[in-house]
Chains A and B, each alone.
Chain A
Amino acid sequence: MFNATVQRIRTPALKITQNCKSKDCHSVLIMIPHGRRCLSTSSCLYGKILPRKKPRVVHEIAGLEPITYADRMHFVPGLAKPRFPTWDRGWKDPTHYQSPKLEDMPLHKDKPCYIFSQRTNVLEGVRQALWLSKSVLIKGLPAQILSLAEDPANQIENQDERVQDAIKNSRLWDTTEPRPLRERFCPSLLHRLLHLCGGLQVTRPELAKRILAEKYSLAATWRRGEDMFQVRGQNGLLLNSMTPVPVLAGEEQIQSTADQALETFYPIAPTIDLQCTHVYQEKNDTGFKEGYPYPHAHTLFLMEMGNTPKLLPEQLRAKMVMFTFGNALARAQALYGKEPRVLEKPIVVQSVATNGRLFQFVVFQLNTTDLQSDSGVKNLVWVDEDQPLYEFAKVRPYIKKKVVKVPAGLSGYQPNTFKKFLALHLHGTA
């Protein structure tokens, strides 16, 4: 009888039969492909797998202590399963650490805080950044910087050729591979352009009183309405200088911003896409220690290389605005304390962001740290969008139907973009 049944149940047999060579135990193991023994007759014979019954739900009745088999030290059918208290090692083992629940952490607070970090990708872009930093947008760079850009005395000798050389070096001649990666040519191009700008130190000694800093962590906290916001994290390259950047907007322009209303974007809340957390520390830190010889943040350079997350130009400009605001606010709170007030000497921070070809310029002037209400004096933001430095830089020409559409090498170079870059760099020196 057993041999007959063995043939019929062979079909659901699986790999486990390898372990047991003797054919007598085939029948036992064949019956349990899923580890559960089906003892109903027809299931045994046909290898049918009945669905697993859900385990019995044990209800906890408050005030009633279940009798468990903890004292007996072994399983006893009929008694409840004991629940033991969590075992405490007694000493701190660095390889076995279980963090406490969020509510038990020491920095846990009832009020949530919305944090903007380098990974944040805001939905509404610049409008959201303007609302969060209580600022008013002005398109185009301010007049002082534009005049610096146009002035021929501020230019490097053979400026256009040297910039084109820098682009070709980073885009075409950097590697033997067919095409350099954006993660490679973007920082390489930025460093070459900075090196070119730094070459003007010969004629302008004030340019030497600056230093570039990378991987510094910024922290700035402020309240807006009932919510608390923070800007945290590493942002990019910061050009620090010994002297502060001169104020751009006059007193009348600052006072006229008090009449302009902030743009809201109903039904989307301004806190969308920001990380909401109950465990935070109210920190205000420029990223540098007290006696640092270059305390004033001059320009922030951001690079967008398309990895976590990939930012569209609108979101990249929002990131620039938020981080320049964070830098300015941290500096203001370090100089004047945490009390919200209107600043007599507004703080100006500039920013340049690039993805290797397109440049975005932002100049932020912090006029007030009183960000609780929506009315009153507001901060000023000048934004110059999407300035291409060149159109194409191809290693191999783009040919369609035997016609060269885009030639190899650098094409479509725009000199104005580098003039603005240089002007932003020189702003602050007389």
Chain B
Amino acid sequence: MSVSLLSRALRSLSLSGARTVSSQIASLSGVSADLTGCRGFMTSACQRQNRSLWKQREKYTVRPIGIKKTGGRDYTGRIVTHGIGGGHKQRYRMIDFQRLRYEPGQEGQPIVEKVVEVRYDPCRSADIALVAGGSRKRWIIATENMEAGDLIKTSSAIGRMAVLAKEGDSHPLGALPVGTLINNLELYPGKGAQYIRAAGTCGVLLRKVNGTAIVQLPSKHQIQVLETCVATVGRVSNVDHNKRIIGKAGRNRWLGIRPSSGLWQRKGGWAGRKIRPLPPMKSFVNPPSAAAKT
């Protein structure tokens, strides 16, 4: 029965029809790779899709890149996240979250860079700074009092004595004194900053315990990371971001936030303020596993 169905389907699909079918299929499947090859009776060649092409660039560039808005929809076309759509056009500036990125040929030395300009970024709440050092320019998240013309330092050295932390500089956690305010924290050394990047946020370095450091995040959670993970000193820029007043519905629409559904729903046990103890400290330090020993 299914065989006859299949054969009837095959007969109905002409040569040109097959190409349009598979191209539509290929354009809908937003797999992260450009080439979507499908086996089975879709026998066309791999087709490229245009949907995520704007974010496939591997080489770093300072110039802003145009974005394709998704409207909260995924590759199938269905709304996955409600309340997203419209808003002012934005251009994405590639931010370098890995502060400790050496230029080819200059590994090991502390990096000194000069802040060329600090500007607004439409893609995030914090401001971004264009820094130039050596023969390259890159965008980084600006800290609170960063201004054009400042010199900022990035180093990977952990000395016996703690470094006098200057705002905007970036050091490994083992080199910073306990109690400094930090931002742009790495979880694994060399991976790039993943935590504490929003406007006005800062974490606190609580204590350093043989080879690891314990940091309190802005949500009061505590995490343990290796002391070679690099973090920037100071608070993130645009400190008054949470005090802004949207003022009107139109401003929300300019930000790309669509109105929520007006349907009144009885809220369940998930809603309301919860007062509970902090979860246990999460550790991102991987001990050697039992499988590796044997």
**Contacts between chains A and B (CB distance < 8 A), count:** 80
B42 CB-CB contact with A under 8 Å: yes
Additional 15 contacts, C-beta under 8 A, given A34-B25, A34-B28: A20-B12, A20-B13, A28-B5, A33-B28, A34-B75, A35-B25, A35-B36, A35-B42, A36-B38, A52-B31, A123-B132, A267-B132, A267-B133, A269-B134, A272-B134
- Is the interface on chain A under 10, 10 to 19, 20 to 34, or 35 or more residues? 20 to 34
Residues of chain A lying within 8 A (CB to CB) of residue B112:
266-267
User: For chain B, what secondary structure do more than half of its interface residues adopt (helix, strand, loop), or is it mixed?
Assistant: mixed
7 A–B contacts from the bound complex (CB under 8 Å): A15-B24, A22-B12, A25-B5, A28-B6, A33-B25, A35-B25, A269-B134
* Residues of A with C-beta under 8 A to B25: 16, 32-35
- Over the window 1-22 of chain B, the binary record of Cβ atoms lying under 8 Å from chain A Cβ atoms (1 yes, 0 no) is 0100110110011000100111
Name A's B-contacting residues (CB within 8 A). 12, 14-16, 19-22, 24-25, 27-29, 32-37, 49, 52, 123, 266-269, 271-274, 276
* Contact A24 to B134, CB < 8 A, known contacts A12-B76, A19-B21, A34-B29: no
Interface residues of B in 19-50 (CB under 8 A from A): 20-22, 24-26, 28-29, 31, 36, 38, 40, 42
Contacts of B94 in A (CB 8 A): none
Once bound together, how far apart are the Cα atoms of A24 and B2, in whole Å? 10
- Which of A21, A35, A272 makes the CB contact (< 8 A) with B137? A272
Q: Is B244 an interface residue (CB 8 A)?
A: no
Residue of B nearest to A2 (CB): B1
What's the interface size class on B, roughly? 35 or more
Within the assembled complex, what's the spacing in Å between the Cα atoms of A276 and B28? 40
Contact of A20 with B76 in the complex, beta carbons under 8 Å: no
A24 near B36 with CB under 8 A, answer no
CA distance A203 to B155 in the complex (A): 68
For residue B75, which residues in chain A have a CB less than 8 angstroms away from its CB?
Answer: 34
Q: How far is the CA of A49 from the CA of B17 in the complex (A)?
A: 24
Minimum CB–CB distance from A307 to chain B (whole Å) comes to 15
Contact A271 B135 (CB under 8 A): yes
Pairwise interchain contact B26-A19, C-beta atoms closer than 8 A: no
- With an 8 A cutoff between CB atoms, is B151 at the interface? yes
Which of A15, A36, A267 is within 8 Å of B113, CB to CB? A267
Verify if B114 is at the interface (C-beta below 8 Å from A). yes
A269 to chain B: which residues have CB within 8 Å?
A: 134-135
- B9, B112, B133 interface centre (most CB from chain A within 10 Å): B9
- In Å, the complex CA distance between A22 and B4 comes to 13
- How far, in angstroms, from A14 to B135 measured CA to CA in the complex? 51
Assess the B132–A272 pair: CB atoms within 8 A. yes
With the chains together, A36 CA to B112 CA distance in Å?
A: 51
> For B114, what are the chain A residues with a Cβ–Cβ distance below 8 Å?
267-268
Q: How far, in angstroms, from A25 to B17 measured CA to CA in the complex?
A: 15
Give chain B residues whose Cβ lies under 8 Å from the Cβ of A14: 24, 28, 77
A354 → B minimal CB distance (Å): 27
- Interface flags for B180-220 (1: CB within 8 Å of A; 0: not) read 00000000000000000000000000000000000000000
Q: How far is the CB of B10 from chain A (nearest CB, A)?
A: 9
- The reply to whether A276 and B135 contact each other, CB–CB distance below 8 Å, is yes
Separation of A36 and B75 alpha carbons in the complex (Å): 14
A34 to B113, CA, bound (A): 48
A12, A25, A123: which has the most chain B beta carbons within 10 Å? A25
B40 to A19, Cβ gap below 8 A?
no
